[in-house]
């Protein structure tokens, strides 16, 4: 794939720095795009990696991620680049609350054991004296998310907001007694708390939230819910 073709394909996948979105790409071509990005010398192009995955999830493009990860059988720098970018992008999508392409999570466990938490580092090393800033990866994805939010109709946003609100209330009801849930929602909305409520929140509710925010606990929950 030539550079011009890569840039055109990125535009079609929502990376608007280059060209407007056009037609829907095939899954095979998307994998070619991701493969090409992993070997690019241009960091602006590499930063598009998580955007491509997010756009595919949004548009319902099914990707055979395992096909991408198995393109290079030997342990080569190119194979490592694809693995690192895929893992880091998957974690960024989760952190930003964006949907992932179907099947992406299932392929991440072996990579997480291999590389750990790549987002803890300031840069993602891609070999051959190349690296990309994890903050730039995150900021590029956030810009895409903002553009996506703006492009959705008010009706679509309202539906998604209602669904998120329903899911939030459902999960909170499972994890917290009514009193704690009410207090948590008041705190979330910025409503004033009495002295007693503040003390109770700090002593009880906050500790539960800190436990839920623990990355190791989230990994355990993710693993066990798949079994």
Task: Tell me the pLDDT tens digit for each residue of 171-210.
Answer: 888 889 989 988 988 888 888 989 999 999 999 999 999 9
> Do 41 and 81 have their domain in common?
yes
> Do 44 and 87 have their domain in common?
yes
Give the chain's domain count: 2
> Do 89 and 193 have their domain in common?
no
190-197 contact pairs (CB < 8 A, 24+): none
The pLDDT value recorded for residue 153 is 64
Residue pair 111/63 in contact (Cβ under 8 Å)? The answer is no
How distant, in Å, are the alpha carbons of 56, 115, 183 from that of 36? 16, 21, 49
> Do 17 and 89 have their domain in common?
yes
> Do 42 and 99 have their domain in common?
yes
- Residue 48: which of 102, 9, 87 has the closest Cα? 9
The pLDDT value recorded for residue 17 is 56
Residue at token pair 């500790």: 207
How far is C-alpha 137 from the chain's CA centre?
A: 11
> Do 109 and 83 have their domain in common?
yes
pLDDT-above-90 percentage for the chain: 42
Res 21 pLDDT > 60? no
> Do 138 and 45 have their domain in common?
yes
Tell me which residue range forms the domain holding 41: 3-150
> Do 200 and 212 have their domain in common?
yes
| Distance spanning both ends of the chain, measured CA to CA | 40
Beta bridge partners of 124: 132
Question: Which helix (H) or strand (E) covers residue 133, if one does?
Answer: strand 131-133
Residue pair 34/13 in contact (Cβ under 8 Å)? The answer is no
User: Considering all CA atoms of the chain, what is the largest pairwise distance in Å, rounded to the nearest integer?
Assistant: 65
Residue pair 140/50 in contact (Cβ under 8 Å)? The answer is yes
Mean per-residue pLDDT, 161-168: 75
Instruction: Give the separation between CA 203 and CA 79, rounded to whole angstroms.
Output: 48
Res 223 pLDDT > 70? yes
* End residue of a domain, out of 134, 150, 166: 150
Burial of 132 (0-12, 13-18, 19+ CB in 10 A): buried
> Do 77 and 185 have their domain in common?
no
Residue pair 115/84 in contact (Cβ under 8 Å)? The answer is yes
pLDDT in tens, 53-105: 999 998 888 899 999 999 887 888 889 999 999 999 999 999 998 999 988 98
117-120 contact pairs (CB < 8 A, 24+): 117/91, 117/215, 118/84, 118/87, 118/88, 118/91, 119/88, 119/91, 119/92, 119/95
The pLDDT value recorded for residue 5 is 78
């Amino acid at each position: 794939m030539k550079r011009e073709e890569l840039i055109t394909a990125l535009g079609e996948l929502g990376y608007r720095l280059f060209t407007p979105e056009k037609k829907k790409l095939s899954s095979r071509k998307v994998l070619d795009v991701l493969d090409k990005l992993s070997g690019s010398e241009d960091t602006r192009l590499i930063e598009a990696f998580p955007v491509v995955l997010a756009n595919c999830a949004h548009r319902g493009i099914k990707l055979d991620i395992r096909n991408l990860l198995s393109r290079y059988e030997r342990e080569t720098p190119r194979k490592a680049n694809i693995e690192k970018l895929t893992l880091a992008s998957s974690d960024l999508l989760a952190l930003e609350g964006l949907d992932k392409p179907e099947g992406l999570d299932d392929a991440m466990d072996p990579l997480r054991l291999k590389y750990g938490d790549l987002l803890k580092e300031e840069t993602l090393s891609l070999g051959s004296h190349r690296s990309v800033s994890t903050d730039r990866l995150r900021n590029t994805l956030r810009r895409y998310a903002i553009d996506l939010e703006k492009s959705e109709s008010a009706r679509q946003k309202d539906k998604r907001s209602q669904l998120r609100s329903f899911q939030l209330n459902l999960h909170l009801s499972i994890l917290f007694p009514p009193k704690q849930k009410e207090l948590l929602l008041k705190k979330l909305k910025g409503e004033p708390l009495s002295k007693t409520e503040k003390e109770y929140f700090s002593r009880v509710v906050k500790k539960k939230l800190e436990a839920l925010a623990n990355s190791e606990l989230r990994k355990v929950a993710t693993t066990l819910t798949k079994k």
